[in-house]
Structure formats: C-alpha cells, structure tokens
Structure 1
Amino acid sequence: MHFRKIKVVFVIMLIFSGLVMSCRNKVNRDVADKSTSVEATYETKEFLEFYDRFGSDSVFQMQHIVFPLEGMKAIVDSLERPDPDFHWQKEDWVIHGPFDDMDGTFSREFVDFNGLVIEKIYDPSGTFSMERRFKKLASGWNLIYYREMGRY
C-alpha cells in the first residue's frame, strides 16, 4: 500500500513538472517571437522615405545635415594622419547622390544602434570604405557623421 502511494505521488509530480515545463517553454517562445519581429529603424517607412529623399533632393539634403558635421576626410597621402577633430563645413559640402554599387564593386549595409542608423559602403576587400550616421532629432532625420570614401 505504501509503495502504491509513492508511485501515485511520483506520477502526479511527473505530470505537474511536464505542465510547468511546457508553460515555461511557451512563454520563452512568445518572448522570442516578439523580440525577433521588431523592425530595425532603417527598415521603417519613415527612415526609408527620408533616405530616398536625402539622396535625390539637394535642398532637402542640405537642410538635414548638422553642420559643422563631424567626420573624417579620406587620407590621400600615406604620410598623412587623420584629423580627429575634423568637421565638414557647409560651404565645402559635395552633394551625395543615391547609392550606386558600381556593377557590384561596392556593398552597403545598415546597422541599427539604438535608433542611430549607421550606413557602411565598402569594396569586397574592405580596403575602401565610407560611413554615414543618421539620427532622428527634433527636426527629423539628420546626417550627423560622415567618413569620406577612402582607405582606412
């Protein structure tokens, strides 16, 4: 009789443990589903509309750059050192057009860093690259950093 009670208690505990584990797994799956379905900032309609217009409308582009713009000028001479305090000035700005991969010569990737969108364009070897950083400010999306295409 005593052995039978132990057996019943064991079966009940086994069933209870199974129920607890399956509920816990469902909660973990639900949390994982919600976290993977979050849209990256650079995929939002708002950012994509801004980005397309930034590359096609020069007046809009100039209005959405924070000058003097922090960044880095390409190093032309191997003896040059990058200026850590360099800033692009409005009067020297060269308008940027839409992305052109030059028949597959360049690749582009976006990284969402807590609402800061970092765009990187680079050649297959990674020798030549360019970086732009966009941030949403009170006035809307703006270019806040630009590293010119060059060897880094």
Structure 2
Amino acid sequence: MRYSKILFLAAFLVLIGCQNKNKKSSDLNKKSAKIETSEKFNQFNIRFHSDSIFQISRIDFPIEGLSVSGFDRHKWTKENWEFMIIPVSEKNTIDEYEHSLIKNDSLVIERFWIPDSGFEVERQFKLIRNKWFLVYYNDINL
C-alpha cells in the first residue's frame, strides 16, 4: 500500500510537471505570435506613391501642414488631397532643388526647396503600430 501511494504521488508530480511545461510552451507561442514585424519603409514608399487607395488609407486626416499656393492657403483634408506620385528618395535627382532626408527606424522627414524662391515641400512619415503613415505635409509655393 505504501508503494502504491509513492507511485501515485510520483505519477501525479510527473503529470503536473508536463502540464506546466506545456503551459509555458503555449505561453511562449502566444507571446511570439503577438510580436509583429514592422512594415519596411521601402516597400511602403513604393506602394504609397503608386496606389491612391492605399495612400488615402495611410493618412489620418486632417494632418499637420498646409497647402499654400500664392494667396490660396488650406489645411489638408480627404476632400482636397492631391495624390503624391514622387517617392521618398535617398538623393536629389533634380539639380535646381535642394534636398534633405532624415531617416531612422520610426521617422522619415524629407524636404525639397529652392533657396530664396518661396518654394518648399516637407513631408514626414511615422511608424505607428508597425505601419507607416504620412503625418505631416507642407507644400508651399509662393
């Protein structure tokens, strides 16, 4: 009878140990499933500037920045949005414009301007919940 109690206790402990191991493994699988990879900016950049529906889906209107053309000045809304077709570029391909680019894992700021002309474009993209969004667009043409 004493051996049966010891055998029962040993079997019980083994069973509990297996359940804890399975629970830990299950918890680890759940945690790894929750880890999402961030969208790559280069892939986003290409799609954003070639797909108008995708572009609108990645702008939470109204965004910061203005459209200024002469005396006409307005904030950007979904109704007055102008589809952007020129992707963010590492280097300037148009000689008459100055160009700057600041790029890290969660923010991209690109600026074009012609010195002393009243022309300047600045756009900012931010990684939000592992997806890239346009959060700022200033288009000034005086």
Instruction: Give the shorter-chain TM-score range.
Output: 0.5 to 0.7
Number of residue pairs aligned between Structure 1 and Structure 2: 101
Q: Which has the higher strand share?
A: 2
Q: Does the CA-based 8 Å contact 1:67-1:88 persist in structure 2? A: yes
1:105 to 89, 96, 110: 96
4+ residue stretches of structure 1 with deviation over 3 A?
A: 99-103
Q: Structure 2 CA distance, aligned partners of 1:150 and 1:55?
A: 21
Relative to structure 1, the CA distance from residue 114 to residue 103 in structure 2 (aligned partners, 3 Å threshold; closer, same or farther) is closer
1:75 CA drift (Å)? 4.9
Could you say what the CA RMSD is over the residues aligned between the two structures, in angstroms?
A: 3.0
TM score, norm. by length of structure 1: 0.55
TM score, norm. by length of structure 2: 0.58
1:8 counterpart residue number: none
1:96 to 84, 94, 106: 84
State the AA in 2 paired with 1:133: Q
Is residue 50 of structure 2 the alignment partner of residue 59 of structure 1? no
Is residue 133 of structure 2 the alignment partner of residue 142 of structure 1? yes
State the AA in 2 paired with 1:118: I
Q: Which has the higher helix share?
A: 1
Q: Deviations over 1:11-62 (max 9, x none)?
A: xxxxxxxxxxxxxxxxxxxxxxxxxxxxxxxxxx811111121111111111
1:73 to 67, 70, 94: 67
Q: Structure 1 CA distance, aligned partners of 2:44 and 2:107?
A: 14
